[in-house]
């Protein structure tokens, strides 16, 4: 997945070439307290029709890296290096005018809290029509409105002809998120970045929204980047998963690999933190101790070292002194991990899995 750095830039994407290619992306913010290393040396890619899930805690850099894809950072305050290619076009360093042509058109974004993310004083129809008109300057207002109604209907809003004239606060949370999705998809973008689209919703509504996104993906064949801190959402939606911690990718693989054979202790921690309703009530939910390190002064070694309960298994205190590379894991083939542990797979099977899911480990 990192081999695309030398790939020739082409304006059109063939079937197999990833639509979004992020290579060695670094985002830093100068602040009064010093330079914040929000994202460091991040690389990933997403093909059309595929979904990449990015998981991590707040402050792990998952939203910051995605905002960089749309160039939404303030160019005066963010220092962005590396490369981001959307449909073959380099985005880092692109002029604001060119960037605007892409935003909401080739690549769109759905935000988490739709009540805050929709303008409270404009009717949803006007907000949708505006998103359409800005990329279809020749369309009439009537056409834009018809398109808005069509999209509201497509995302499952009942009576779209009358709801189009309502304000965002007149919708329920789930319906509002549907409006947000309709707005994101109104220009048929090839890339959709969904930044925790279900975080603010009830679980039942969450499932509906995820279903809707999957339906729409099948229909439009778009590439989706799904940002979340919820591994349940990942399991439901993603093809590939990238786990982020403290601004770096710490594990990468197919959703199956990450869910069943994770090899990075932070990923184990995430899995252990999920409450499982179907399991034995005696199963312990194991929270990850401590808090993420400061992004102002990143530790010299592995960023997760202070919180890692397995660091003693690495000889010479290497975890505290040397940053592990993102290397192929023991099962190889596209599974990458940033960890010094050499026998991570067996530690997971013998020590971690019994805590996470006692039933499955007994069967083994």
Footprint of another protein (CB under 8 A): 70, 72, 96, 100-105, 108-109, 111, 113, 116-122, 130-131, 134-135, 167, 169, 183
The dihedral through the CA atoms of 40, 43, 48, 52 has a sign that is negative
Pairing of strands 240-245, 327-328: unpaired
CA–CA dist 195, 199 (Å, integer): 9
List the structure tokens of 41.
Answer: 């040396």
Nearest of 47, 103, 52 to residue 73 by alpha carbon: 103
Q: Could you give the residue ranges of the DSSP H alpha helices within the chain? A: 62-69, 96-102, 114-117, 124-133, 141-154, 160-163, 173-185, 203-220, 231-237, 255-260, 265-272, 318-321, 344-347, 353-356, 358-363
The CA distance from 304 to 247, in Å, is 11
Give me the least distance between CB of 194 and another protein, in Å please: 12
| Among candidate residues 153, 151, 12, the one with its CA nearest the CA of residue 85 | 12
Question: Which residues, other chains included, contact 140 with Cβ-Cβ below 8 Å and sequence gap of 6+?
Answer: none
Residues contacting 319, CB < 8 A, separation 6+: 301, 302, 305, 308, 311, 340
Strands 240-245 and 248-254: antiparallel
240-245/223-228 β-pairing? unpaired
Closest CA to 196 of 301, 116, 86: 116
Greatest Cα pair distance, the chain, in angstroms, is 70
Sheet holding 34-46, edge to edge: 34-46, 20-31, 79-86, 89-90
* C-alpha closest to that of 286 among 202, 206, 358: 358
Q: Are 66 and 195 in contact (CB under 8 A)?
A: yes
Could you give the CA distance from residue 20 to residue 292 in angstroms, rounded to a whole number? 28
């Amino acid at each position: 997945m990192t081999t695309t750095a030398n790939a020739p830039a082409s304006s059109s994407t063939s079937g197999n070439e990833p639509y979004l290619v992020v290579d060695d992306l670094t985002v830093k913010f100068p602040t009064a307290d010093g330079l914040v290393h929000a994202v460091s040396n991040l690389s990933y890619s997403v093909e059309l029709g595929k979904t990449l899930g990015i998981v991590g805690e707040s402050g792990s850099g998952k939203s910051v890296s995605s905002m960089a894809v749309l160039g939404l950072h303030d160019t005066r305050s963010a220092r962005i290096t590396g490369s981001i290619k959307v449909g073959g076009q380099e985005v880092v360093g692109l002029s604001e005018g060119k960037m605007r042509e892409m935003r909401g058109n080739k690549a769109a974004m759905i935000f988490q809290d739709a009540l805050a993310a929709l303008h409270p004083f404009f009717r949803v129809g006007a907000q949708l029509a505006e998103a359409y008109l800005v990329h279809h300057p020749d369309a009439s207002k009537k056409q834009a409105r018809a398109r808005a109604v069509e999209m509201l209907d497509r995302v499952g809003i009942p009576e779209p002809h009358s709801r189009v004239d309502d304000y965002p606060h007149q919708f329920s949370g789930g319906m509002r998120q549907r409006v947000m999705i309709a707005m994101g998809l109104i220009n048929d973008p090839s890339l959709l970045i969904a930044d925790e689209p279900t975080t603010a919703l009830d679980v039942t509504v969450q499932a509906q929204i995820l279903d809707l996104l999957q339906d729409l993906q099948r229909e439009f064949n778009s590439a989706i980047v799904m940002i979340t801190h919820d591994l349940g959402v990942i399991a439901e939606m993603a093809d590939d998963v990238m786990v982020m911690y403290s601004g770096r990718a710490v594990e990468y693989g197919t959703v199956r690999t990450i869910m069943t054979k994770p090899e990075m202790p932070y990923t184990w921690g995430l899995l252990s933190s999920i409450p499982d309703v179907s399991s034995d009530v005696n199963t312990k939910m194991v929270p990850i101790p401590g808090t993420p390190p400061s992004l102002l002064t990143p530790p010299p070694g592995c960023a997760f070292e202070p919180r890692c309960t397995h660091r003693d298994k690495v000889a010479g205190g290497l975890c505290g002194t040397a940053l592990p590379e993102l290397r192929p894991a023991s099962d190889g083939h596209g599974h990458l991990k940033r960890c010094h542990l050499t026998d991570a797979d067996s530690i997971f099977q013998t020590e971690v899995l019994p805590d996470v899911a006692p039933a499955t480990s007994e069967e083994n």
